[in-house]
Chains A and B, each alone.
Chain A
């Protein structure tokens, strides 16, 4: 019993300590140094990164659902936060795995852990802008849309910059090499999706094969 509690405590201490949270904000304002020390001194936390991705998915759905109708062309009936969460998490995993598999071959220094932290932390500006943008959207009229879009654009731009710097610093790359690896990452993601679909198709064919044997036996017997 005591051991359990202490284990739990150590988990929280290890991954959600106030130090880690503070370092998240430090990384946001000092991405160069921040991501560098995440790799060298284990200053980051994977659970926090995953939590951020989940939060981002939530904010994304919230924005689609609640943004004022002046700026929102989405049918609220078509918003499904759970499937969007699944999509975002899948994309996150694909990006991390894709990047890891490419950088492994290209002398990247980052481990899987560091890559997932870099990608996860990069969603923080999105979380920080999507919620205020959604609130502001409810206080604007049709010709003031640019405020809303500007906030969103700033968030997305900063997230992209963070992602770029994060990958760059974690692997100790130059900017050019980072861009090349990101491009290759995208290709890797497509290859992974392709292979997954292929596998799924094969499995379903094997399944139907055995199922047809089963039905044949049933009818014969």
Chain B
């Protein structure tokens, strides 16, 4: 026992020494509760260093408010971040909204009741929260069938969105908001239960204006064929082709709405909707923004990722949260997969039922409804370098990004985006041969071809003398040779005639 303790102390000091000395302070793979990986050009799994490492768990019972414990969260469903950095947790089972400070160490406020035209009113299963740029708090109060808008500072009621009226809604439609988000113009985007037509949009005054970003149903030719053959009775009994519901929503600073849905094919689980409601997301080199690429199998663990929430971070980077396998997928603005981390389990940093994701400073924060806890993930050196490089690239500063990419390659030689980024820099510097080497590793056909064309022209130009001389020699040689052969044949023929 004693020796063990002594050993661990030694190991600890050594580790601290190594960490302080080494350039990169990343956690070794054995310490992580999950295996970080990514997909390469051939859609094979490649193991990578972790981009984020677990940094702790926050449970309701550990938090104090006015000197008292606030009690455990019960089935919390959503969390969001305000502009001043505070975290708002929809503690659904406790019918309250808990506000935490940026480090999530202290409770700043708890909203349980509000003043509704003189009467005290409370929440019933609040499943979604969002804070607007005006510092108004939007709460999807699902079982009260309304969205409550409060002023953060005073807790005063600023409005209620309920009972949407429109010709396009079915008669007797019951509005059950699940998730809510707000853009710069205070338009409310609301994901409602059993509403397959899209995200419901409300104007700032609470008026329902229509649906947004409807997911079109894909019917294959084969299904059409079968429906053609089926009788009316059979058709009425068969499954309806209903578009999938949206699951999570986030609005970026330009007013583009990121909305996730559960895609049964695992191809596209997130949409980037422009103000007209059209999907403008880019799908990257693997043509996929749906989480895992390898989804074969027949177990519960197999099948496409079920993306349940999205967070737009900054400079085009967004992360998706998969509740099927508890993984977090991060993409850049072109839809290229950057890194994957997270998993299911009961350790710190793994989930049982992840419900919501948010980005706070350099951390990624995930809310688990089953374990009723918030999990924080810290950026590692590897993650920081990638994020930084992607940000620089988003701003068009590719030359500065190269330095980052080089350091990424030290940690992960197989990172295609890094190779391709370095290759592009060499291309601009007119070092075509090196550019070809890196672009080949980055599997970037387009830019490789540009580099290759330049390289080919250079070689042709440099060796033009030899090539032309060679061609002359061959042509002259051929002419002379054929004449000699002809002459010989002619002589042969004459001889044959003379002899024959």
Judge whether B445 and A75 touch: CB under 8 Å: no
Judge whether B440 and A69 touch: CB under 8 Å: yes
Judge whether B446 and A142 touch: CB under 8 Å: yes
CA of A56 to CA of B434 in the docked complex: distance in angstroms?
35
Given contacts A75-B42, A139-B456, contact A69 B445 (CB under 8 A): yes
Give per-residue flags for B430-448: 1 if the beta carbon is below 8 A from chain A beta carbons, else 0: 0000000000100101101
Q: Which residues of A contact B453 (CB under 8 A)?
A: 141
Asked if A143 lies at the interface with its beta carbon under 8 angstroms from chain B, I say yes
**Quick one: closest A residue to B452, CB to CB?**
A141
Judge whether B452 and A70 touch: CB under 8 Å: yes
Asked if B35 lies at the interface with its beta carbon under 8 angstroms from chain A, I say no
Q: How far is the CB of B454 from chain A (nearest CB, A)?
A: 10
Q: How far is the CB of B53 from chain A (nearest CB, A)?
A: 30
Q: How far is the CB of A81 from chain B (nearest CB, A)?
A: 19
Q: Which residues of A contact B112 (CB under 8 A)?
A: none
- Of A69, A75, A139, A143, which contacts B448 at CB under 8 A? A69
Q: Which residues of A contact B440 (CB under 8 A)?
A: 69
CA of A70 to CA of B443 in the docked complex: distance in angstroms?
9
Judge whether B449 and A141 touch: CB under 8 Å: yes
Judge whether A143 and B449 touch: CB under 8 Å: yes
How many B residues have CB within 8 A of the partner chain? 12
Q: How far is the CB of A77 from chain B (nearest CB, A)?
A: 9
Asked if B44 lies at the interface with its beta carbon under 8 angstroms from chain A, I say yes
CA of A139 to CA of B445 in the docked complex: distance in angstroms?
14
Q: How far is the CB of B452 from chain A (nearest CB, A)?
A: 5
Judge whether A142 and B449 touch: CB under 8 Å: yes
Given contacts A75-B42, A75-B44, contact A70 B448 (CB under 8 A): yes
Judge whether B44 and A142 touch: CB under 8 Å: no
CA of A142 to CA of B456 in the docked complex: distance in angstroms?
13
Within 8 A of B (CB), among A127-164: 139, 141-143
**Quick one: closest B residue to A78, CB to CB?**
B42
Q: Which residues of B contact A70 (CB under 8 A)?
A: 445, 448-449, 452
Q: How far is the CB of A62 from chain B (nearest CB, A)?
A: 19
CA of A143 to CA of B449 in the docked complex: distance in angstroms?
8
**Quick one: closest A residue to B454, CB to CB?**
A141
CA of A73 to CA of B366 in the docked complex: distance in angstroms?
38
CA of A141 to CA of B445 in the docked complex: distance in angstroms?
9
Q: Which residues of A contact B445 (CB under 8 A)?
A: 69-70, 142
Q: How far is the CB of A78 from chain B (nearest CB, A)?
A: 8
CA of A142 to CA of B450 in the docked complex: distance in angstroms?
8
**Quick one: closest B residue to A69, CB to CB?**
B440
Q: How far is the CB of A100 from chain B (nearest CB, A)?
A: 38
CA of A132 to CA of B400 in the docked complex: distance in angstroms?
42
**Quick one: closest A residue to B455, CB to CB?**
A141
CA of A142 to CA of B445 in the docked complex: distance in angstroms?
7
Q: Which residues of B contact A69 (CB under 8 A)?
A: 440, 443, 445, 448
Q: Which residues of B contact A139 (CB under 8 A)?
A: 456
Q: Which residues of A contact B448 (CB under 8 A)?
A: 69-70, 142
Q: Which residues of B contact A75 (CB under 8 A)?
A: 42, 44
Q: Which residues of A contact B42 (CB under 8 A)?
A: 75
Q: How far is the CB of B129 from chain A (nearest CB, A)?
A: 46
**Quick one: closest B residue to A142, CB to CB?**
B449
Q: How far is the CB of B338 from chain A (nearest CB, A)?
A: 22
Give per-residue flags for A201-219: 1 if the beta carbon is below 8 A from chain B beta carbons, else 0: 0000000000000000000
Q: How far is the CB of A60 from chain B (nearest CB, A)?
A: 20
Q: Which residues of A contact B446 (CB under 8 A)?
A: 142
Most A Cβ at <10 Å: residue of B440, B446, B452: B452
CA of A143 to CA of B446 in the docked complex: distance in angstroms?
9
CA of A69 to CA of B441 in the docked complex: distance in angstroms?
10
CA of A37 to CA of B440 in the docked complex: distance in angstroms?
51
**Quick one: closest A residue to B453, CB to CB?**
A141
Most A Cβ at <10 Å: residue of B445, B446, B450: B445
Most B Cβ at <10 Å: residue of A69, A75, A139, A143: A69
The 3 lowest CB-CB distance pairs between A and B, nearest first, are A142-B449, A141-B449, A75-B42
Give chain B's interface residues, CB within 8 Å of chain A: 42, 44, 440, 443, 445-446, 448-450, 452-453, 456
Can you name 18 A-B pairs with beta carbons within 8 Å? Answer: A69-B440, A69-B443, A69-B445, A69-B448, A70-B445, A70-B452, A75-B42, A75-B44, A139-B456, A141-B450, A141-B452, A141-B453, A141-B456, A142-B445, A142-B446, A142-B448, A142-B449, A143-B449
Give chain A's interface residues, CB within 8 Å of chain B: 69-70, 75, 139, 141-143
**Inter-chain pairs besides A70-B449, A75-B42, 15 sampled, C-beta below 8 Å:** A69-B440, A69-B443, A69-B445, A70-B445, A70-B448, A70-B452, A75-B44, A139-B456, A141-B449, A141-B450, A141-B452, A142-B445, A142-B448, A142-B449, A143-B449
